[in-house]
């Protein structure tokens, strides 16, 4: 099984949309409904090929989630894509890309291709 993409988003509809899109392209996906659960998955040994994280979430914002990953040294080198509808959202220091909603699916796929391998050719 290929290394999964971790989606961290409190919006179940957005997680489902992203998951359907990525799985349709052959990627493996793991979901977390908030930053705390995303951190827990990584602490338990998940090493995703990339992390797609929403900016506005309860408990931890996307930026706080990334800062916490770095503070705990949990994901060095794992690319982070921050997604947001807030044009003034602060960019986490280590976000590799910020995508503003609504974004074209190809923008996310282009960001993931260098880091993640699909299980099957789509």
Q: 9-18, 58-67, 105-114: lowest mean pLDDT where?
A: 58-67
| 87 in any annotated domain | yes
Predicted confidence (pLDDT) per residue in 41-50, tens digit: 999 999 999 9
| 121 in any annotated domain | no
The domain containing residue 33 runs over which residues? 5-112
Number of structural domains (the chain) is: 1
Closest CA to 57 of 93, 95, 97, 9: 9
| 46 in any annotated domain | yes
The pTM for the full model equals 0.92
Predicted confidence (pLDDT) per residue in 29-65, tens digit: 999 999 999 999 999 999 999 999 999 999 899 989 9
Long-range contacts of 102-109 (CB under 8 A, 24+ apart): 105/21, 108/18, 108/21, 108/22, 108/52, 108/81, 108/83, 109/21, 109/25
| 104 in any annotated domain | yes
Bridge partners of residue 63, in order along the sequence: none
């Amino acid at each position: 099984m290929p290394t999964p993409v971790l989606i961290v988003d409190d919006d179940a509809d957005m997680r489902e949309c992203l998951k359907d899109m990525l799985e349709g392209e052959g990627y493996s996906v793991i979901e977390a409904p908030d930053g705390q659960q995303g951190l827990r998955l990584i602490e338990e040994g998940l090493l995703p090929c990339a992390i797609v994280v929403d900016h506005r979430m309860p408990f931890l914002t996307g930026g706080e989630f990334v800062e916490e990953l770095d503070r705990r040294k949990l994901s060095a080198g794992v690319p982070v894509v921050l997604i947001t509808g807030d044009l003034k959202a602060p960019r986490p220091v280590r976000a590799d890309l910020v995508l503003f909603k609504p974004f074209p699916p190809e923008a996310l796929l282009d960001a993931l291709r260098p880091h993640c391998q699909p299980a099957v050719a789509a």
